[in-house]
Amino acid sequence: MADYRDALPQLSGSLYLTDAGIETDLIFNHGIEIPEFAAHTLLSDSKGREAIAQYFRGFLSLAERLGTGFILDSQTWKAHPHWAADLGASAEDLLQSNLQAISFLEGLRAEFADNDHPVVINGVIGPRGDAYAPEEELTASDAEDYHSTQIGWLADTAVDMVTAMTFTQATEAIGVVRAAQKFNLPIVVSFTVETDGRLPTGQPLGEAIQKVDQETDGAAAYFMVNCAHPEHFFNVFDDSDWTHRIHGIRCNASQLSHAELDECEELDDGDPAELAAQYKVLLERMPWVNVVGGCCGSDLRHVTSIAKAVIA
């Protein structure tokens, strides 16, 4: 049963943490293979489940220790039909993966029931196609039809919300928001940007956020940016109205571009202290941002540093 679907607690403005770059952490720091970067595949055996559980326990313990809420993400970023052939999965397999992922998170949340602050179960929706270099431009209508499948699966679980993570196109974001509306699920849109602060389509971030709001009557609970380094996009933030719609930031540890990261054979984990200092500066400029965590290349060290910096 969903605990917060009718009223997301992070909208109150208090601080919420997220995890970091689970795929890069498990692959590079723990030597765990993840087929096609699809972390939901790890849930099919006990060793994989325990690896994910141990990963999240570190972040959940951090949130409990520091007195913050936590957004607990499902490993369903690639658990949708576009990736079925690459994963050798049927539609039924993907459905069961989504159900299993949320059930798994319910168990983790129960382990931390003593936390005085909410733990929000978040169903993660990935873009249709490559998050770094989209193969095609989707219409809003096509995106709504496509994402309705996975969102429909998640709507029948205990998710409190869904997040369209690492989205690259405003039109696809419009479609996924409309799909979530059909199932009465709160949705967050998290865009990724290139080193110039624009979406991979070339559209300015502010223009994309405004377009999504205009076409959906402001239905998204809020917006985020993920999978980019602070130096790639912090400079595009000002005091425009659209920036006040951004409530979450999950940055890469590395300053490399998406194309460069794709070619990396070794992990670039950046500098946790420097990353934390950048977050602190941003939150001083934009105090309405209250959901913070990491993305590719980051791990518990980075999120710990970020949390301590922004709380201080």
Question: Which DSSP string do the residues of 70-126 spell out, in sequence order?
Answer: EEEE-S-TT-SGGGHHHHT--HHHHHHHHHHHHHHHHHHHHHTTT-SS-EEEEEEE-
Read off the CATH number of the domain in which 213 is found: 3.20.20.330
What is the residue range of 100's domain? 9-311
Q: In the chain, how many domains are there?
A: 1
Residue 249, domain member (yes or no): yes
pLDDT one-digit tens code per residue, 234-285? 999 988 999 999 999 999 998 876 666 666 667 778 999 999 999 999 999 9
Confidence of residue 130 (pLDDT cuts 50, 70, 90): confident
| Dist CA 15 CA 13 (whole Å) | 7
Residue 214, domain member (yes or no): yes
Residue 255: the pLDDT is 81
Q: Which tokens sit at 268?
A: 């670039």
Residue 3, domain member (yes or no): no
Residues 6+ apart with CB under 8 A from 96: none
Report the mean per-residue pLDDT for the chain.
Answer: 94
Residue 283, domain member (yes or no): yes
